[in-house]
């Protein structure tokens, strides 16, 4: 092996030399999703990871135990993830659909109402997109047909009935391109850019302009054309048009629509919130997130657990910029938020009593917090009394050695304790450097 890069990092009186060794392909976080009290992410190698609440087995680790540290659930080949409140769906590279967690309404689609704490295959192949609501699930097949299963007492499956379905049933024969599932409502797009909705409509979350239709059991067209993305919160809905404009409807009790008002009875017709430049959207319980073309992250709505990440717990009635640039993906849970940056790092904020932020604590945070550093980089954390804790994010399961020298010319490297990176590739450098002198440290991969 050879040294590929050296970083000298001055920290007060401490200087660190990080020698990054050639160690195969790094695996930054590639995709994220969040719902209820859980967070899920995929690494670029296709492994599926989860953290947070697990009372129904929704993490898929074979237990009902919550975790505040990301756990690897599936080793490879996962291509997409979607989360309901208490259940989870994912796709593998054979286009098979897998599910785990709560199943009291048949939302796993396996023909039973039995929960599963481990992943089980539901559809063998040809699934292209997935979405999870509170107790229902949606998916699209390769022929662009829309399918659903689970709870249907509010018509969220759109099959013209209010009967639950324990097996997948076809809702729309063709031309469906995107889906989103809220608490008890569903949204989908067709290939002509039209937006369709069904399910619970008490707060106007379907956007059909009708106050007298609380339950809609058949898909109804809401917008004729030019819609390119949809997101469903608990009782509100967001969508983006082809001109980059952001639109919203439904419950606005916390300002989650971002129109400057509070309206607990809701808005029953789509209203334009941002004129242009919006590229991605996510909707939580009472808060909303979106990205703009410059990579900036914006948020509005409920902030009682710090889920907006602006350093306060004050609700925001208008969109507020949280991160200025380099954000590439977003996800909103019930009271927490997560996002990715362009360097592959994972960040989070908000409620954390279930460990959904995966930061090894159960402490809420109202500021954006880095959960996983960029891979093959050093992470630096300042501690009280002039102490510094270093961590290195490598590849999970790989052994790394820590060496120290008091000078570089010539270097006299002294081996410290060899440490194995933990399950998420984080190597804590517990040999705290002495801030009274300049020490140099290196990390190298070992067999």
d(CA 65, CA 357): 15
Select the more confidently predicted residue: 335 or 444: 335
Quote the CA–CA distance of 177 and 186 in Å, as a whole number. 14
User: Which residue from 257, 270, 271 is spatially nearest to 222, judged by alpha carbons?
Assistant: 270
pLDDT digits (tens, 9 = 90+) for 120-162: 999 999 999 999 999 999 999 999 999 999 999 999 999 999 9
Nearest to 348, CA basis, from 319, 325, 370, 318: 370
- Measure the CA–CA gap between 57 and 60, rounded to whole angstroms: 6
The CATH number, out of the four listed (2.130.10.30, 1.25.40.10, 1.10.3720.10, 3.40.710.10), of the domain defined by the range 29-375: 2.130.10.30
**Number of residues written out for the chain:** 447
- Per-residue confidence (pLDDT) for residue 379, from 0 to 100: 57
At 204, give phi and psi (nearest 5°). Answer: 80, 20
Q: Which of 313, 308, 296, 363 is nearest to 333 (CA)?
A: 308
**pLDDT attached to residue 401:** 72
Beta-bridged to residue 393, according to DSSP, are: 377, 426
* pLDDT tens profile 298-348: 999 999 999 999 999 999 999 999 999 999 999 999 999 999 999 888 999
State which of 46-50, 118-122, 413-417 shows the largest mean pLDDT.
Answer: 118-122
d(CA 350, CA 332): 10
Q: For residues 132 and 88, give the distance between their C-alpha atoms in angstroms, rounded to a whole number.
A: 7
In the sheet where 426-429 sits, what is the strand order? Answer: 377-383, 387-393, 426-429
Strand partners, 441: 404
Indicate the SS3 state at residue 433: coil
Q: Is it the case that residue 8 has pLDDT exceeding 80?
A: no
Residues of the chain with pLDDT > 70: what percent?
81
* pLDDT recorded at residue 376: 56
**Confidence at residue 125, expressed as pLDDT on a 0 to 100 scale:** 97
**Nearest alpha-carbon partner for 304 in 257, 254, 347, 266:** 254
Q: DSSP per residue over 172-194, as a string?
A: E-S-EEEEEE-SSEEEEEETTS-
What is the structure's pLDDT at 380? 56
pLDDT at position 390 over 50: yes
Q: How far apart are the first and last CA of the chain?
A: 11
Sole residue written with tokens 């517990």:
430
Q: What is the CA radius of gyration of the chain?
A: 23
Between the alpha carbon of residue 229 and those of residues 127, 129, 313, the distances in Å are 19, 13, 29
> Is residue 391 very low, low, confident or very high in pLDDT (cuts 50, 70, 90)?
low
Which pLDDT score is estimated for 86? Answer: 97
Report residue 223 CA to chain centroid gap.
Answer: 27
Residue-range domain boundaries for the chain: 3-24+378-446, 29-375
Render pLDDT for 204-221 as a digit per residue (tens, 0 to 9).
999 999 866 679 999 999
Contact by Cβ (8 Å): 71, 50: yes
Confidence of residue 414 (pLDDT cuts 50, 70, 90): confident
Largest CA distance in the chain: 81
């Amino acid at each position: 092996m050879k040294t590929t890069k050296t970083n000298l990092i001055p920290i007060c009186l401490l200087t660190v030399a990080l020698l990054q060794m050639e160690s195969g392909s790094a695996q930054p976080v590639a995709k994220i999703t969040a719902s209820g009290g859980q967070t899920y992410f995929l690494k670029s190698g296709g492994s599926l990871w989860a953290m947070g609440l697990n009372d129904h087995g929704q993490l898929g680790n074979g237990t009902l135990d919550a975790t505040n540290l990301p756990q690897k659930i599936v080793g490879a080949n996962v291509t997409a993830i979607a989360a309901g409140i208490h259940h989870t769906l994912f796709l593998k590279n054979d286009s098979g659909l897998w599910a785990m967690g709560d199943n009291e309404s048949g939302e796993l689609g396996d023909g039973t109402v039995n929960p599963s704490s481990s992943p089980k295959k539901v559809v063998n192949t040809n699934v292209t997109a997935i979405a999870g609501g509170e107790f229902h699930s949606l998916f699209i097949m390769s022929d662009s047909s829309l399918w659903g299963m689970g709870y249907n007492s509010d018509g969220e499956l759109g099959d013209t009935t209010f009967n639950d379905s324990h097996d997948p049933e076809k809702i729309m024969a063709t031309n469906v391109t995107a889906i989103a599932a809220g608490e008890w409502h569903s949204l989908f797009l067709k290939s002509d850019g039209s937006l369709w909705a069904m399910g619970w409509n008490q707060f106007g979350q379907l956007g059909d302009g009708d106050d007298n239709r609380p339950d809609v059991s058949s898909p109804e067209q809401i917008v004729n054309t030019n819609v390119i993305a949809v997101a469903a919160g608990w009782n509100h809905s967001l969508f983006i048009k082809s001109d980059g404009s952001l639109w919203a409807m439904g419950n606005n009790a916390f300002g989650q629509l971002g129109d400057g008002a509070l309206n607990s009875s809701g808005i029953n017709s789509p209203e334009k919130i941002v004129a242009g430049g919006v590229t991605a959207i996510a909707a939580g319980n009472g808060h909303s997130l979106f990205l703009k073309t410059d990579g900036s992250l914006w948020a509005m709505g409920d902030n009682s657990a710090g889920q907006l990440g602006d350093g306060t717990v004050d609700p925001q009635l208008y969109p507020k910029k949280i991160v200025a640039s380099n954000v590439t993906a977003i996800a909103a849970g019930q009271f927490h938020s997560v996002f990715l940056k362009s360097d592959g790092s994972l960040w989070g904020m908000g409620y954390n009593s279930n460990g959904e932020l995966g930061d090894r604590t159960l402490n809420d945070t109202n500021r954006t917090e880095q959960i996983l550093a960029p891979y093959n980089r050093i992470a630096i954390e300042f501690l009280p009394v002039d102490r510094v804790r270093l961590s290195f994010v490598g590849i999970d399961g790989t052994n790394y050695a820590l060496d120290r020298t008091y000078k570089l010319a010539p270097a006299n490297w002294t081996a410290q304790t060899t440490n194995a990176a933990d399950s998420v590739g984080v190597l804590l450098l517990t040999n705290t450097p002495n801030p009274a002198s300049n020490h140099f440290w290196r990390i190298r991969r070992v067999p």
